[in-house]
Amino acid sequence: MVAVVEVRKGTKSFEEAVTLAGSHLWGYLGDTKGRRKIVLFSLVSSAAVSYIGSIIAITWLFILLRFINGILIGGSSAIIYAFAGEFHDNYYRPKVVSYIATFVAIGNMYLPGMAWLILPQQWEYYISFLDINFRPWRLLMIVYATPSLISALLIYLLPESPKYLLVRGENEEVMRILQNIYRINTGKDRTQFPVGSLTSDESVEGLKHEKNECMLSSMWQQTAPLFRKGYLLKTAMVCYLHFAIFLSTSAIIMWYPQILNSMSDYGQVVPSNEVTMCTAILYDEADYKNDIPEVGVGSGIVRSITSQICIDTVNEEVFLVSLIIGFVYAVSYIFIGTFINTFGPRRLLIGLMTFTTISGVIAQHLSGHTYIQVALGVFLVAATGVGIVNAIVVELYPTQIRGMALAVSLCVGRFGAMTGSNIAGPLMLYLCDYMFYVFAASHLVVIIMVFLLPKKKPDVPKIDTVDVEKTVTNNNTDAECSQQK
């Protein structure tokens, strides 16, 4: 049996490193092999690995499959924003990217909702030919993987990104796709589509590579433009935006249930209106030290619990808190999608970061369990800024490196999440009174960078085209694509 090690303060898990490991590769494949193809492969393969993992009895193999699953699912998480955004023009693109992020929040509700429904059940079935006891947690893995297959089916019904194909020079295929979009949107015959031919305002360079070219060399050619003149500064900026937002929100959301539990325990000792966040955390730590033997490991404190029985029950309050957070995220994403064009993504991000940062600093000084809980919840809404940053990235980069730009910036963001979830424990334990000031300083840099972000993509050379009777630019292609809403 496996010994279970609970991390009390200090380091948590490194699960964000799993998807981080494959982000760069997926960005390269999405830009060179096609958005649709890579998203489909990512969704189907990750679901298949999860299904297999649900019936595995060997611990090391199960862990390996979960690692592989994390890498595979990362393929769709970044590329889907480029894929969807390229069906729309400059007006609808930010709205669409923001609305897509709403499904991240729906997923945040789906996960605890299904767990709350399935995990408390007390049943098991022995499967002799697999030599496993099929328990609720195994069923939960299957339920978690199923939306990937449903999403893959929906993506399969869609064509490849017309803008991606146009930049590759596949004009005939683009024309066929646009004619079908026109037919679906208007009900008219596809032959009535009022466009004769297409040109691209972006270069095909970077999308086509020699077949015998080394993959690492090809990846470098696809990545290097992000760090060259014209893109280096904006790449550094959007990477920091993702890093800072992921870091602060992951740090708090990882420990949010623990903070609430500490305040609840401390509220049994003092009147609830006298509870402060840091006092409760320090009280809980002192109580823990008095009751449970400690073993120092690095900068953290852990306790080891060795059991011959697999314990797969969870405190149901955790599910409720996660559902509420997911619901708040969903409402926030809908608000962002509705007003992102009214205020602009930059103004909206500045307003969001300012409001949530102030709420976090206020939580540092509030007294009263309920008030602190609400203030922390408002601070966590800053996580929805990731959707706005994605919309900004899609806007800033041309088609041939857009997928890579999203993948690299989200990769840095996930590193921020990993960093935040591991520094939050020591921060709360040793620097609790200054924790939200640290996050506020980081968010202030975010606001300054948003002010300084360029608003237009640098010009790129056009591809050679043959004069025809009717010629439209790629912007018109975007406009026609946007009719498929």
Task: Check residue 17 and give its pLDDT.
Answer: 55
Mean pLDDT over the full length of the chain:
80
Domain hosting 169: range is 4-291+308-456+467-481
331-374 pLDDT, tens per residue?
Answer: 999 999 999 989 999 999 999 999 999 999 999 889 888 899 89
DSSP 8-class letter at 461: P
- The pLDDT value given to residue 310: 53
Return contacts of 368-375, CB within 8 angstroms, 24+ apart: 368/272, 368/273, 368/274, 368/275, 369/263, 369/264, 369/267, 369/272, 369/275, 370/272, 372/263, 372/275, 372/276, 372/277, 373/260, 373/263
In a domain? residue 140: yes
418 inside domain = yes
What CATH number is given to the structural domain containing 69?
1.20.1250.20
In order, the DSSP letters of 372-390 are HHHHHHHHHGGGGHHHHHH
Reported as a single tens digit per residue, the pLDDT across 277-323 is 989 888 877 665 555 444 344 434 344 444 445 555 556 677 888 88
CA geometry: angle 24, 95, 233, nearest 5 deg: 45
Residue 349 lies in a domain: yes
- Residue 431 φ then ψ, to 5°: -135, 40
Quote the CA–CA distance of 376 and 261 in Å, as a whole number.
14
How confident is residue 192, by pLDDT bands cut at 50, 70 and 90? confident
Q: Does residue 298 belong to any structural domain of this protein?
A: no
How many domains does the structure of the chain reveal? 1
- Decide: helix, strand or coil at residue 122: coil
Least confident residue range of 186-190, 203-207, 449-453: 203-207
Residue 35 counted as domain residue: yes
Would you say residue 461 lies in a domain? no
Q: Would 268 be classed as within a structural domain?
A: yes
150 found inside a domain: yes
